[in-house]
């Protein structure tokens, strides 16, 4: 596919305009009152020098940012097969409805009686997500997956303390886990114990058993794991964890491959987080906002962050009286607009949600089969296993044979109008490409992606230098990470740029 | 069954793909799942069956119409208020090249997004008077909590001093996070005559094992912390870091917290073209002055300007990623991954639209309305306004009702289409029958007059 991204030499907003223009109009009807109030404010608290922010006309602002959007690439532009990120198509009906004034202009402190609509949506989401995960109660408060993990880790910590088990201070995390798992555990004060992956691509159950002790507070796992492989010994793992009076935590980032087919709660997981911006089609927003939901089994319900939404058969209301609550992990009630988008998504699909898992798994294994035998590509883990939501291939062989590495391949995909997958993750796979096409990619695009890979690896063996120069069809060529990160050239703001001139 | 969001669910395509892979049924892909775990029944989610787009709109409309919006803009405060969201902000945010993009891990194809984040970092640094602002936290509450944890890592101390005039839900969030990190939170009283943080109490609780202090201005009561510089100085004298929480919408008229000496600044972008969204999402601002230790411990993503490898062109990419979870794992400065990128874009579009002049005028417009509201409230019998007589207010005003039950009063007002709140007793037991009221650029003189006359009507009438 030919691709040329727009390339605007767009100035930084501070350099956009030579002249000062009439900016967005704010009335001055209260000028005399303002002057009076200003006169009472101590001198040192009043802004003395004018802000160094230009005054622009509306059209300048609109063109500037519209041009910037033309130098971006999202799911609406083409495939974004980022593994672990579940970059599925975001239905437009969800966007339209979540932008309803009755959502966007609703104040979090208005009387519950005047917010029954949103409370009903939140309540139904709590119920539906409990049903999907096989748990009993959910909190919509965490703003993203990582904060859901942190919430879960705090629940585990508080439970153990409440039950006199202060010594339970270790969280076990597989080496293939997402970085936020160990980071969240550490934030909750746990010591992180790392366990390896076996050659079948599963958590090494012997190493896990050896790592267990009375200090074990919990195990954070995702299933299917970050290699896209289902942890087939999950019931044994759950037993081993529970025997130690520890908890099994589910990182729901990979739910897309099993939703409606198996439930983490049934596998023995006690606490689960979901990423509504992955599995439930809320858009990723260029990095956020997302919405994390934490669901737990009955035994842990009283530990959830407050408030949760309840229903007395007549009206919906917030409950603040969970007796063991860990408290608030974030203010108000969660990221409501993504929650509404996911509500619309789930309401639309209903029980057909299982189709999501079936087709995402079909797409994954279809594409894997197309790529598996390409020159220079290997699997490293789990030969012969079906993948679920994603798969990981290694370009280690390609690098050794041609000098072309995973990054070069990624940049070459960009040149072909395809967003690169997640690269160099999980860390246990050298020169990794982690590919997740989700259920929303067409067969034609799967073939297109496969063809692009084929063309790239073949080129690597004849003209590796050309791939090293990629990308050239994006708005800029490959960027210099050393200049970007060096203390002498570090420039995180415009002020730094000026100072360096 | 086939669905239009799932293209390969069409019968023929599914069949063709299964044949290519060499399996009969998709369930074969799940042959490694213990048989007894496979669900035999469809999940009970949604409305029992898939809905068409026009059906789902109807269902949604039925539900959402149970939300009530007041005919004149709400006067409810409590950290977030009704502000105007310009059409330009909505238009840019609806560009799906932005909103359907992922985090820009492939910078060459995401320069537009990265430049927008870089501009966000730059305008926020200018507004708050600091050197570096990250690419956003989830919201103001988690930005404050991150700042607290960060201060402990930098100073290696385990106590934090937090004013009780800081938003109660922000304090709650900090306490929860501190439970995880093993830090002790010490709360400082507020002065009942000004509504400001009590300097004496602050000084008496400050010691050499305190990592940081946190004050908010304007604080939860709407009051300006006029002794800000003093709080910062005494904090520094104890070898601790000064964290200041400010509302960016006030910074067109008020001095930047960074210029007053704050080491870490935090805030929330709700007021900057973000909408209320029933409390979220918005973006959390977190900034620092240029300092090696602070920078090393900074949580969250950071964007920087760089050059192409051939040195010819400028470009943007994520920088100092070795602080982050995907590289540093359990030793990362935070677990944050997804942040509030799009809300950060909303606020930089908003700031670009207003410019320095607009931000100043906006600050004054709100200040003027606040002054007017106080004057009008003062004239009402049975109202003590402002609650803290010697405080200076911005945007939000606290007041007390005497002789009538406030809950009843607010209910009655709401039934007349005037939304006021929240009640302070919800967070401060010692402040019964008190409420906040918030005024912003969206409120006209008539709106405020209506509020006040309805209020006196409700108070006066039986
Ligand atoms: C496996 C996994 N776990 C956790 C997370 C963290 O989720 P979030 O980005 O929503 O914080 C992610 C995604 O970023 C992930 O891929």
Contact B76 A109 (CB under 8 A): yes
Question: Which residues 101-130 of chain A have a CB within 8 Å of chain B?
Answer: 101-111, 113-118, 120-121, 128
Question: HSE (CB half, 13 Å, CA atoms) of B128?
Answer: 33
Contact A61 B102 (CB under 8 A): no
Task: Say if strands B241-245 and B284-288 run parallel, antiparallel, or are unpaired.
Answer: unpaired
What is residue B314's predicted lDDT score, i.e. its pLDDT?
Answer: 97
Task: Say if strands B241-245 and A137-139 run parallel, antiparallel, or are unpaired.
Answer: unpaired
What ligand 1 atom has the least distance to the C-alpha of B336? 11
Across B251-274, average pLDDT:
98
Mutate to test the interface with A, among B117, B281, B447 (most CBs of A within 10 A): B281
Distance from the CA of A256 to the center of ligand 1, in angstroms?
A: 13
Q: Give the model's confidence band at B327: pLDDT under 50 very low, under 70 low, under 90 confident, else very high.
A: confident
Across B383-411, average pLDDT:
97
Residue nearest to atom 12 of ligand 1 (CA): A253
Distance from the CA of A145 to the center of ligand 1, in angstroms?
A: 5
The two most distant CA atoms of chain B are separated, in Å, by 82
In CATH, what number does B87-351 get?
A: 3.40.640.10
Burial class of B209 by CB neighbour count within 10 A (0 to 12, 13 to 18, 19+): middle
The closest CB to that of B99, out of A229, A285, A410, belongs to A285
Number of CB atoms found within 10 A of residue B420's CB: 25
Q: Tell me the domain boundaries of chain B.
A: 11-63, 75-83+356-459, 87-351
Q: For ligand 1, is residue B337 a contact (CB within 6 Å)? A: yes
Mean pLDDT of all residues in chain A? 97
Q: Does A492 touch chain B (CB under 8 A)?
A: yes
Residue nearest to atom 7 of ligand 1 (CA): A145
What is residue A496's predicted lDDT score, i.e. its pLDDT?
Answer: 96
Residue nearest to atom 14 of ligand 1 (CA): B337
The closest CB to that of A385, out of B32, B127, B141, belongs to B32
What is residue A500's predicted lDDT score, i.e. its pLDDT?
Answer: 85
Distance of CA A170 to the CA centre of its chain: 25
What is residue B1's predicted lDDT score, i.e. its pLDDT?
Answer: 84
List the single residue in B with minimal CA-CA distance to A282. B100
What is residue A501's predicted lDDT score, i.e. its pLDDT?
Answer: 80
Question: Which residues 261-320 of chain A have a CB within 8 Å of chain B?
Answer: 261-263, 266-267, 275, 277, 281, 283-290, 305
What is residue B63's predicted lDDT score, i.e. its pLDDT?
Answer: 98
Contact A48 B110 (CB under 8 A): no
Tell which one of B135, B326, B337, B339 to mutate to probe ligand 1, the residue whose CB is within 8 A of the most ligand atoms.
Answer: B337
Task: Say if strands A422-423 and A391-394 run parallel, antiparallel, or are unpaired.
Answer: unpaired
Contact A331 B281 (CB under 8 A): no
Burial class of A163 by CB neighbour count within 10 A (0 to 12, 13 to 18, 19+): exposed
Residue nearest to atom 10 of ligand 1 (CA): A145
Asked if pLDDT for residue B442 goes beyond 70, the answer is yes
Contact B45 A132 (CB under 8 A): yes
In CATH, what number does B75-83+356-459 get?
A: 3.90.1150.10
- Both tokens assigned to A269: 């997981």
Asked if pLDDT for residue B461 goes beyond 70, the answer is no
Across A227-256, average pLDDT:
98
Distance from the CA of A183 to the center of ligand 1, in angstroms?
A: 11
Contact B319 A52 (CB under 8 A): no
Question: Would you say B388 and B398 are in contact if contact means Cβ atoms under 8 Å apart?
Answer: yes
* pTM of structure: 0.98
Determine what percent of chain A is predicted with pLDDT higher than 70: 100
Mutate to test the interface with A, among B25, B332, B335 (most CBs of A within 10 A): B335
Q: Which of A353, A224, A230, A358 is nearest to A280 (CA)?
A: A353
- Residues of chain B found within 8 Å of residue A106, distances taken between Cβ atoms: 67, 69, 276-278
Find out whether the peptide bond into A307 is cis, omega within 30 degrees of 0. Answer: yes
Residue A165 Cα distances to A66, A162, A487, B182, angstroms: 56, 7, 46, 16
Tell me the pLDDT tens digit for each residue of B65-74: 999 999 999 9
Mean pLDDT of all residues in chain B? 97
Distance from the CA of B332 to the center of ligand 1, in angstroms?
A: 15
What is residue B279's predicted lDDT score, i.e. its pLDDT?
Answer: 98
Tell me the pLDDT tens digit for each residue of A314-349: 999 999 999 999 999 999 999 999 999 999 999 999
Across A349-371, average pLDDT:
98
Tell me the pLDDT tens digit for each residue of B99-146: 999 999 999 999 999 999 999 999 999 999 999 999 999 999 999 999
Across B229-246, average pLDDT:
98
Asked if pLDDT for residue B428 goes beyond 50, the answer is yes
Asked if pLDDT for residue B462 goes beyond 60, the answer is no
ipTM: 0.98
Across A397-421, average pLDDT:
98
Q: What is the DSSP string of A386-436?
A: PPSS-EEEE-HHHHHHHS--HHHHHHHHHHTT----EES-STTSTTEEEE-
Contact B98 A56 (CB under 8 A): no
Tell me the pLDDT tens digit for each residue of A26-45: 999 999 999 999 999 999 99
Tell me the pLDDT tens digit for each residue of A144-153: 999 999 999 9
Tell me the pLDDT tens digit for each residue of A426-451: 999 999 999 999 999 999 999 999 99
List the single residue in B with minimal CA-CA distance to A287. B103
Asked if pLDDT for residue B256 goes beyond 70, the answer is yes
Residue B236, SS3 per DSSP: helix
Contact A331 B141 (CB under 8 A): yes
Tell which one of A178, A229, A252, A264 to mutate to probe ligand 1, the residue whose CB is within 8 A of the most ligand atoms.
Answer: A178
- Both tokens assigned to A184: 């969240």
Measure in Å the smallest separation between the Cα of A206 and chain B Cα atoms: 19
Distance from the CA of B273 to the center of ligand 1, in angstroms?
A: 27
Q: For ligand 1, is residue A222 a contact (CB within 6 Å)? A: yes
What ligand 1 atom has the least distance to the C-alpha of A278? 10
Distance from the CA of B278 to the center of ligand 1, in angstroms?
A: 24
Topology annotation, domain A355-484: 3.90.1150
Residue written as token pair 């997956």: A145
Q: Give the model's confidence band at A353: pLDDT under 50 very low, under 70 low, under 90 confident, else very high.
A: very high
What is residue A354's predicted lDDT score, i.e. its pLDDT?
Answer: 97
Q: Tell me the domain boundaries of chain A.
A: 3-71, 92-352, 355-484
Q: How far apart are CA A304 and CA B193, in angstroms?
A: 38
Tell which one of A80, A84, A250, A273 to mutate to probe ligand 1, the residue whose CB is within 8 A of the most ligand atoms.
Answer: A84
The closest CB to that of A479, out of B306, B356, B368, belongs to B306
Topology annotation, domain A92-352: 3.40.640
Exposure string of A375-387, with b = 16+ CB inside 10 Å and e = fewer, is ebbbbbbbeebbb
């Amino acid at each position: 596919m030919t691709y040329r991204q727009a390339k605007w030499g767009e100035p930084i907003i501070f350099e956009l305009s030579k002249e000062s223009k009439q900016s967005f109009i704010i009335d001055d009807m209260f000028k005399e009152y303002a002057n009076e109030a200003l006169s009472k404010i101590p001198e040192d608290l009043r802004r003395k020098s004018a802000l160094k922010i230009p005054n622009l006309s509306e059209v300048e602002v609109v063109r500037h940012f519209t041009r910037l959007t033309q130098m971006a690439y999202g799911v609406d532009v083409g495939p974004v097969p980022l593994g672990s990120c579940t970059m599925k198509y975001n239905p437009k009906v969800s966007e339209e409805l979540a932008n309803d004034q009755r959502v966007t202009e609703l104040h979090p402190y208005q009387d519950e009686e005047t917010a029954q609509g949103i409370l009903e949506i939140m309540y139904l989401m709590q119920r539906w997500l409990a049903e999907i995960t096989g748990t009993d109660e959910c909190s919509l408060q965490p703003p993203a997956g990582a904060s859901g993990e942190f919430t879960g880790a705090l629940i585990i910590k508080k439970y153990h303390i409440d039950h006199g088990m202060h010594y339970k201070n270790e969280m076990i995390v597989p080496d293939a886990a997402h970085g936020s798992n160990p980071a969240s555990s550490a934030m909750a004060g746990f010591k992180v114990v790392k366990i390896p992956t076996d050659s079948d691509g599963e958590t090494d159950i012997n190493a896990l058993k050896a790592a267990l002790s009375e200090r074990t507070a919990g195990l954070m796992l995702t299933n299917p794991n970050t290699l896209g492989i289902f942890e087939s010994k999950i019931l044994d793992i759950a037993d081993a964890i529970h025997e130690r009076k520890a908890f099994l935590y589910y990182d729901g980032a990979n739910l897309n491959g099993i939703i409606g087919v198996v439930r983490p709660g049934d596998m023995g997981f006690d606490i689960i987080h979901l990423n509504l911006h992955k599995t439930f089609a809320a858009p990723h927003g260029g990095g956020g906002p997302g919405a994390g939901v934490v669901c737990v089994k009955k035994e842990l319900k009283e530990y959830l962050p407050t408030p949760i939404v309840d229903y007395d058969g007549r009206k919906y209301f917030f409950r603040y009286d969970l007796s063991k609550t860990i408290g608030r992990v974030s203010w108000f009630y969660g990221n409501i607009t993504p929650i509404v988008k996911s509500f619309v998504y789930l309401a639309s699909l209903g029980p057909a949600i299982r189709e999501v898992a079936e087709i995402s798994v079909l797409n994954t294994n279809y594409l894997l089969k197309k790529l598996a035998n390409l020159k220079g590509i290997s699997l490293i883990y789990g030969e012969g296993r079906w993948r679920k939501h994603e798969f990981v291939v290694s370009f280690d062989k390609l690098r050794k044979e041609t000098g072309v590495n995973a990054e070069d391949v990624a940049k070459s995909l960009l040149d072909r109008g395809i967003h690169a997958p997640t690269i160099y993750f999980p860390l246990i796979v050298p020169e990794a490409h982690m590919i997740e096409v989700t259920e929303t990619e067409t067969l034609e695009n799967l073939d297109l992606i496969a063809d692009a890979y084929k063309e790239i690896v073949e080129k690597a063996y004849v003209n590796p230098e050309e791939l090293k120069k990629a990308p050239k069809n994006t708005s800029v060529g490959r960027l210099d990470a050393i200049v970007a990160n060096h203390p002498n050239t570090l420039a995180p703001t415009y002020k730094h740029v000026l100072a360096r001139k | 069954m086939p669905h239009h969001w799932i293209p390969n669910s069409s019968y023929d395509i599914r069949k063709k793909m299964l044949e290519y892979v060499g399996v009969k049924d998709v369930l074969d892909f799940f042959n490694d799942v213990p048989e007894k775990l496979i669900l035999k029944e469809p999940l009970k989610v949604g409305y029992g069956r898939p809905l068409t787009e026009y059906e789902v709109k109807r269902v949604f409309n039925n539900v959402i119409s149970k939300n009530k919006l007041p005919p004149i803009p709400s006067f409810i405060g409590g950290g977030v208020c009704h502000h105007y969201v310009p059409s330009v902000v909505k238009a840019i945010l609806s560009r799906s090249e932005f909103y359907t993009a992922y985090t820009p891990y492939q910078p060459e194809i995401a320069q537009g997004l990265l430049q927008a984040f870089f501009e966000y970092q730059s305008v926020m640094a200018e507004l708050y008077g600091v050197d570096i602002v990250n690419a956003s936290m989830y919201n103001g509450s988690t930005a404050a909590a991150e700042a607290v944890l960060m201060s402990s890592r930098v100073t290696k101390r385990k106590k934090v001093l937090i004013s009780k005039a800081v938003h109660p839900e922000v304090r709650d969030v900090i306490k929860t996070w501190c439970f995880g990190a093993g830090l002790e939170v010490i709360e400082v009283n507020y002065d009942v005559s000004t509504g400001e943080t009590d300097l004496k109490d602050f000084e008496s609780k400050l010691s050499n094992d305190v990592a940081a202090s946190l004050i908010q201005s304007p604080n939860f009561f709407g009051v300006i912390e006029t002794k800000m510089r003093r709080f910062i100085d005494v904090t520094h004298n104890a070898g601790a870091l000064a964290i200041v929480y400010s509302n960016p919408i006030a910074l067109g008229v008020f001095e930047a917290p960074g210029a007053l000496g704050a080491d870490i600044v935090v805030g929330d972008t709700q007021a900057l073209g973000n909408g209320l969204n029933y409390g979220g999402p918005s973006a959390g601002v977190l900034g620092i002055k240029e300092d090696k230790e602070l920078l090393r411990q900074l949580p969250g993503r950071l964007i920087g300007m760089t050059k192409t490898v051939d040195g010819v062109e400028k470009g943007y990419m994520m920088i100092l990623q070795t602080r982050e979870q995907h590289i540093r794992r359990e030793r990362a400065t935070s677990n944050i991954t997804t942040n509030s990128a799009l809300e950060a874009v909303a606020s930089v579009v908003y700031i670009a639209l207003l410019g320095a002049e607009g931000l100043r005028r906006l600050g004054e417009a709100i200040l003027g309305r606040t002054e007017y509201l106080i004057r009008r409230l003062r004239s009402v019998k049975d109202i003590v306004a402002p609650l803290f007589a010697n405080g200076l207010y911005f945007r939000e005003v606290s007041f007390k009702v005497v002789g009538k039950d406030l809950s009843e009063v607010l209910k009655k007002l709401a039934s007349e289409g005037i939304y006021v709140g929240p009640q302070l007793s919800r967070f401060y037991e010692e402040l019964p029958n008190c409420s906040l009221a918030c005024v912003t650029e969206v409120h006209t003189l008539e709106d405020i007059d209506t509020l006040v006359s309805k209020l006196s009507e409700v108070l006066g009438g039986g």
